[in-house]
Amino acid sequence: MNNPAKNRGGRPRKKVKRQEQLAVMCNIIERKIISGKAKKAGLTISEYLRGIGLNGMLTIRAYPPQILEFTGKLNHLSANINQIAKKRNINEQLSPIERAELKLLSEEIKQLSKEIKTYTK
């Protein structure tokens, strides 16, 4: 009685699942070099080695420090807003301190938006 068309939630299945494992032997120095290059490229070791093996070169996902800083700020702000929303969803009233925090968060988001617009011009 299991209906495959029904969405049961969870993570969507990948169209092509990577299930084959390939072992690479190296010494500790080579491993650290490969790991460092993968990290510098913004990739996992598997993505890095697969890219080198299949394409001979890689597209590096290195982001400027400003973008990483903006992303960090947005993650922090979204966590705070999520906590406030959670409290409101269970019909709890916000204290005056929490209201002030919400106003401050709103101002931070506006400022961050301005910084992003300035950076991307």
- What one-character-per-residue DSSP string does the chain give? ---TTS---SSPPPSS-----------HHHHHHHHHHHHHTT--HHHHHHHHHHHSS----PPPHHHHHHHHHHHHHHHHHHHHHHHHHTTPPPPHHHHHHHHHHHHHHHHHHHHHHHHH-
Q: Please give the mean pLDDT across all residues of the chain.
A: 80
For residue 31, the model assigns a pLDDT of: 94
**pLDDT (mean) for 35-45:** 86
Confidence of residue 4 (pLDDT cuts 50, 70, 90): low
For residue 59, the model assigns a pLDDT of: 64
Would the pTM count as exceeding 0.85? no
What is the tens place of the pLDDT at every residue in 49-96?
A: 988 888 887 666 666 777 778 888 888 888 888 888 787 778 778 788
